[in-house]
């Protein structure tokens, strides 16, 4: 992690106000990840930082919706295939929860933009494991440090974050 990257992400994404998070929690600040994901240079720089955190794996699994651009860029950087994980399996066509390629018997790393409590990741991990994926690691752009790491650990998932809330706040002082 470099403070210049954390500062660029903070300056681009940090919003203040009153925000309801996916977890249901209310926060006075919000990191709008789509603001960095929509900037090609910053998206690539964050993805490069995330690539350094990857364990040995066979497939990247981008979480709908914010994990998809990150996983796509990471796939380009590493040559690893990627799948796109839906919040719910579609009810038509292939009825898949993970689109793109096979995961059965493969070492899959979940890719997420921002982790708060990890609830959506836990549900997606359970879906992927039920179809044979070997999932042990989540790599995210930002860990809000609000219980996600601990909640994921209960299900034997290790969280690796390119940036944490502390990193973003410390970058203001650097």
Q: What is the pLDDT of residues 101-155, one digit of tens each?
A: 999 999 999 999 999 899 999 999 999 999 999 999 999 999 999 999 999 999 9
* Model confidence pLDDT, tens digit, residues 161-171: 999 999 999 99
From the candidate CATH numbers 1.10.260.40, 2.102.10.10, 3.40.50.2020, 3.30.930.10, the one assigned to the domain spanning 41-166: 3.40.50.2020
pLDDT of residue 93: 63
Closest CA to 143 of 59, 28, 50: 50
Q: Is 145 annotated as a binding residue?
A: no
The residue written with tokens 């350094």 in the block is 52
Contact 101, 59 (CB under 8 A): yes
Closest CA to 42 of 82, 80, 6: 6
Residue 132 assigned to a binding site? no
Structure confidence at residue 19 as a pLDDT band (50, 70, 90): very high
Domain layout of the chain by residue ranges? 41-166
Is 112 annotated to bind ligand? yes
114 is in an annotated binding site: yes
pLDDT value, residue 94: 67
- Is 6 annotated as a binding-site member? no
Of 11 and 92, the one with more pLDDT: 11
Q: pTM of the full predicted structure?
A: 0.92
Of all residues in the chain, the percent with pLDDT exceeding 70 is: 94
- 16 marked ligand binding residue: no
Asked whether residue 119 is marked as a ligand-binding residue, the answer is: yes
Is 90 assigned to a binding site? yes
Question: 96 labelled as ligand-binding?
Answer: no
Q: Is 117 annotated as a binding residue?
A: yes
Give residue 92's pLDDT.
Answer: 66
């Amino acid at each position: 992690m470099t403070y210049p990257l954390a500062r660029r992400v903070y300056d681009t994404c940090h919003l203040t106000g009153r925000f309801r998070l996916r977890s249901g929690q209310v926060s006075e600040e919000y990191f709008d990840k789509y603001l960095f994901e929509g900037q090609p240079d910053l998206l690539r720089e964050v993805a490069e930082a995330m690539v350094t955190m990857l364990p040995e794996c066979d497939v990247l699994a981008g979480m709908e919706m914010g994990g998809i651009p990150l996983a796509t860029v990471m796939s380009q950087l590493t040559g690893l295939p990627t799948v796109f994980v839906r919040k719910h399996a579609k009810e038509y066509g292939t009825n898949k929860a993970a689109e793109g390629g096979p995961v059965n018997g493969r070492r899959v790393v979940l890719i997420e933009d921002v982790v708060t409590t990890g609830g959506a990741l836990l549900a997606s991990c359970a879906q992927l494991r039920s179809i044979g994926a070997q999932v042990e690691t989540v790599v995210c752009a930002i860990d809000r440090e609000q219980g996600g790491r601990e909640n994921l650990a209960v299900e034997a998932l290790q969280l690796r974050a390119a940036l944490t809330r502390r990193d973003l706040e410390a970058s203001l002082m650097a």
